[in-house]
Amino acid sequence: MRIGILCYPTSGGSGVVASELGMALAGRGHEVHLFSYKRPFRLRPQGGGFSWHEITIPRYPLFEYPSYGMAAACHAAEVELDLLHCHYAYPHAVSAHLAKEMSGGRLRTVTTLHGTDLLLVGQDASFARATRFGLERSDAVTAVSAFLRDKTAAWFDLARPIEVIPDFVDTRRFSPSEASGPSIVHVSNFRPVKRSADAVRILYLVRRRRPATLVLVGTGPEEGEIRALAEKLGVLDDVRFAGEEPDVARHLRGASLLLSTSGFEGFGMAVLEAMACGVPVVSTRSGGVSEALGDSGGLLAPVGDVEGLAGHVLALLEDPALGRRIGRAGRRRAEEQFDLERIVPRYEALYERVCGAQNAQRLSV
């Protein structure tokens, strides 16, 4: 099958999942074309069957505000595809519809919802109508959690079905190793919804009781503010800024725990990757994280409860046996429920249904 994937290349979960899905599909024999405005940071070198296309935006004096959405549609329409799978509802679902129209209606489209595309973008009155239009014109819509599916139906008053296909992880690349010290890993794109400042405040509370190091993986607009807060609280020497690191597993392996402070998560890709590494998770009760963790994969507290989260962190640092038990449970759940080999075939089955319906419609004409 000739599959296009349209995504943002940054360190958010949608770009990670889209890149991993494209590479996995190419490995399973499909012809994959990934479209993004720069090379996704998690994209590894690929052989035949996989192509990355850079979305460039033409600039002319008349066009004071160049359109990324239109440029994305034009680039996708230039490649002969059976199906275009877009990640992040706006503008990608609308771009996919335009690409379909430019292709004479033959192209099938799938939209996957990841969370902040609806929470932040879709709820803006300027974009809500276009977001709903894109979802309604998609041949299929998926969400990465039941929580997000239900929120989407309520927010947009959608009657169309939304299939839940969760995030996935390659449990062979993300695998456990022994903890090497009291290190807390926080993976973030440093945007307000991630509440990364809370991670620094938690470190401050923890350091009053025992030594610990906070490793911040990722980059984003609030990184400077986070650094300033760490300096103000006197913990900057205990914070390591790892940057946008493609090999996240390198930081997770051997960590004492993963700390997620997010105000909203459609699913929680970093949480899942920590589970695969056998690393216990301390997280806010934010959206779909509970679906990832299940009953025994981590310790939860309400969003913004810095003291409660710090208490969980201390419990794991002071009782390594507890961390090992939680880590083993998380690893089993990642293998049994969310391994790449379990989830990617579900996308393939969806693609076949969507394209099969198209072929059946052609035969009936």
Residue 335: predicted pLDDT: 97
CATH code of residue 120: 3.40.50.2000
Kindly state whether residue 177 falls inside one of the protein's structural domains. no
Both 220 and 112 in one domain: the answer is: no
- Which residue did the predictor score with more confidence, 117 or 279? 279
257 bridge partner residues: 184
Place 365 in a pLDDT band, splitting at 50, 70 and 90: very low
pLDDT average, residue stretch 198-227: 96
pLDDT at 121 > cutoff 70: no
Residue 123: predicted pLDDT: 62
* % of the chain beyond a pLDDT of 70: 96
Residue 287: predicted pLDDT: 87
Both 154 and 34 in one domain: the answer is: yes
Kindly state whether residue 175 falls inside one of the protein's structural domains. no
Is the overall model pTM greater than 0.95, yes or no?
Answer: no
Kindly state whether residue 176 falls inside one of the protein's structural domains. no
Q: pLDDT (tens digit, 9 = 90+) per residue, 18-48?
A: 999 999 999 999 999 999 999 998 888 777 8
Count: domains in the chain: 2
Query: Are 71 and 56 within 8 A, CB to CB?
Result: yes
Both 290 and 347 in one domain: the answer is: no
Place 362 in a pLDDT band, splitting at 50, 70 and 90: very low
pLDDT average, residue stretch 96-110: 96
Kindly state whether residue 132 falls inside one of the protein's structural domains. yes
Q: How many CB atoms lie within 10 A of CB 295?
A: 7
Residue 364: predicted pLDDT: 34
Both 111 and 209 in one domain: the answer is: no
Q: How far is CA 43 from CA 16, 39, 116, 189, in A?
A: 8, 7, 22, 17
* Residue 54 CB partners (closer than 8 Å, separation 6+): 36, 37, 38, 39
CA atoms of 235 and 229, how far apart (whole Å): 9
Residue 66: predicted pLDDT: 78
Residue 143: predicted pLDDT: 96
pLDDT average, residue stretch 235-259: 93
pLDDT at 224 > cutoff 60: yes
Kindly state whether residue 28 falls inside one of the protein's structural domains. yes
Place 120 in a pLDDT band, splitting at 50, 70 and 90: low
- Which residue did the predictor score with more confidence, 297 or 190? 190
Which DSSP helix (H) or strand (E) runs through 164? strand 163-164
Both 279 and 162 in one domain: the answer is: no
Both 56 and 160 in one domain: the answer is: yes
Q: How far is CA 35 from CA 39, 56, 334, in A?
A: 9, 10, 29
Place 73 in a pLDDT band, splitting at 50, 70 and 90: very high
Kindly state whether residue 20 falls inside one of the protein's structural domains. yes
Both 84 and 19 in one domain: the answer is: yes
* Three-state DSSP state, 142: strand
Residue 199: predicted pLDDT: 98
pLDDT at 266 > cutoff 70: yes
pLDDT at 179 > cutoff 90: no
Both 314 and 348 in one domain: the answer is: no
Nearest residue to 24 via CA among 348, 252, 268: 348
Q: How many CB atoms lie within 10 A of CB 124?
A: 11
Place 359 in a pLDDT band, splitting at 50, 70 and 90: low
pLDDT at 55 > cutoff 90: yes
Place 127 in a pLDDT band, splitting at 50, 70 and 90: confident
Both 53 and 124 in one domain: the answer is: yes
Domain holding 305, by residue range, is 183-337
Mean residue pLDDT across the chain: 91
Residue 156: predicted pLDDT: 85
User: What does the block give as tokens for 79?
Assistant: 């490649």
- Which residue did the predictor score with more confidence, 1 or 59? 1
Both 113 and 262 in one domain: the answer is: no
pLDDT average, residue stretch 318-336: 95
* % of the chain beyond a pLDDT of 90: 77
pLDDT at 361 > cutoff 50: no
Both 211 and 115 in one domain: the answer is: no
Residue type, 47: G
Both 60 and 163 in one domain: the answer is: yes
Residue 284: predicted pLDDT: 97
Kindly state whether residue 140 falls inside one of the protein's structural domains. yes
**What is the residue-wise DSSP string for 204-257?**
HHHHTTS--EEEEE---TTHHHHHHHHHHTT-GGGEEEEES-S-HHHHHTT-SE
